[in-house]
Amino acid sequence: MDALAIDVSGINKRFGDKHVVRDLALQVRQGEIYGFLGPNGSGKTTSIRMLCGLLTPDSGRGTCLGLDVLKESAAIKRQVGYMTQKFSLWDDLTIAENLDFVARMFGMANRRPAVDQTLDDLGLAGRRQQLAGTLSGGWKQRLALASCLLHTPRLLLLDEPTAGVDPKARRDFWEEIHRLSAAGITVLVSTHYMDEAERCHRLAYIAYGSLLASGTAAEVVAGCQLNTWQISGDGIHGLAERLRGLPGAEQVASFGATLHVSGRDGALLQASLRTLSDATGLQSMAVAPSLEDAFINLMQRSPDPLSS
């Protein structure tokens, strides 16, 4: 079995009467990119903060980088780079000053050459004197990643790192993540983007504190046991509600000029769609369910307990 960077089980965290993380079990191999997905408020950020030593679990056991997550949080923090959802560096400092400040907080004896090297590695050297507050979203993202890498961590925990940046910046960011993974750094990244999820080696889906699915993208899709048809034809989007009412139809989602209709009882859904096609002239074609189909299905099967 490959060596594990993260190996935890039975992890729980409560805030007052809210059970935010429930019996989380997670195994992440060294050097892999592990995607962490789920709806807002599902416990992803809390889980990440427990893994990097910022929060102590109420119960459970396990290790992060070979260190006990309950007893050795201070040692874990020194070997982890944590990139928060919101840009958390100082707007009124330059890029170089921000990195120098972070290096001082880590007590790095060689901080100046480390800052220079990080600026070069992340393509920031030409902007070293620019104030962080004047940077675009993509450049702020790159600076935040640089600050996480200064102390040469063994594990990166990235909490929705590409939210609000343009497609090119997202692509460049993921190229960097794969370069770091190839160099042996383990990456746990939370994201809402399906194209990013498909770039991960393995995935976990967490909903309202509970882990519902994990594995490769193909394994997660297969685990949902969905049968999916692509529906096309004139006036199709006006029939979405009618499609949702069909026997066997568990979900309907728009995909460009078509709709995807999915359900776990393939024979029942196919018969329903055949009857509808005869009545309306719509065309239906069986297709492989996508990762997005799978996650829509998982979300529908795990409603927010506070919304009921």
pLDDT in tens, 194-227: 889 999 999 999 888 888 899 999 999 999 999 9
Gap between the Cα atoms of 291 and 300, Å rounded: 14
What would the mean pLDDT of 281-308 be, rounded to a whole number? 81
- Is a pLDDT exceeding 60 seen at residue 1? no
Cβ atoms within 10 Å, residue 218: 11
First to last CA, the chain: 43
The strand pairing partners of 205, in sequence order, are 37, 213
- Is a pLDDT exceeding 90 seen at residue 164? no
Largest Cα span, the chain: 75
Residues 6+ apart with CB under 8 A from 76: 51, 52, 53, 64, 65, 67, 69
Provide the CA 3 distance to its chain's centre, in angstroms: 22
Q: What was the pLDDT predicted at 193? A: 86
Could you give the percent of the chain with pLDDT greater than 70? Answer: 97
Element (H, E) at 149: helix 137-149
Inter-residue contact 135 to 156 (CB < 8 Å):
no
pLDDT digits (tens, 9 = 90+) for 62-86: 999 999 999 999 999 999 999 988 8
Give Cα separations from 178 to 56, 155, 285 (angstroms): 30, 13, 36
Nearest to 11 by CA among 28, 20, 23, 1: 23
Cβ atoms within 10 Å, residue 241: 8
Inter-residue contact 96 to 103 (CB < 8 Å):
no
Gap between the Cα atoms of 135 and 258, Å rounded: 39
What are the tokens at 183?
Answer: 């160099």
Q: How buried is residue 160: exposed, middle or buried, by Cβ count under 10 Å (0-12/13-18/19+)?
A: buried
Point out the least confidently predicted range of 71-75, 101-105, 281-285, 296-300. 296-300
Domains of the chain: 4-220 (3.40.50.300), 227-288 (3.30.70.100)
Report DSSP letters for 157-225, one per residue: EEESTTTT--HHHHHHHHHHHHHHHHTT-EEEEE-S-HHHHTTSSEEEEEETTEEEEEE-HHHHHHHHT
Cβ atoms within 10 Å, residue 110: 9
What is the strand order of the sheet 258-263 is part of? 251-255, 258-263, 227-232, 283-287
Nearest to 10 by CA among 23, 26, 1, 27: 23
What would the mean pLDDT of 22-41 be, rounded to a whole number? 91
Strand duo 202-207 + 33-37: pairing? parallel
- Is a pLDDT exceeding 50 seen at residue 19? yes
**pTM for the full predicted model:** 0.88
Inter-residue contact 199 to 300 (CB < 8 Å):
no
- Is a pLDDT exceeding 80 seen at residue 308? no
* Percent of residues in the chain assigned helix, strand, coil, to nearest 5: 40, 30, 35
What are the tokens at 150?
Answer: 């200064």
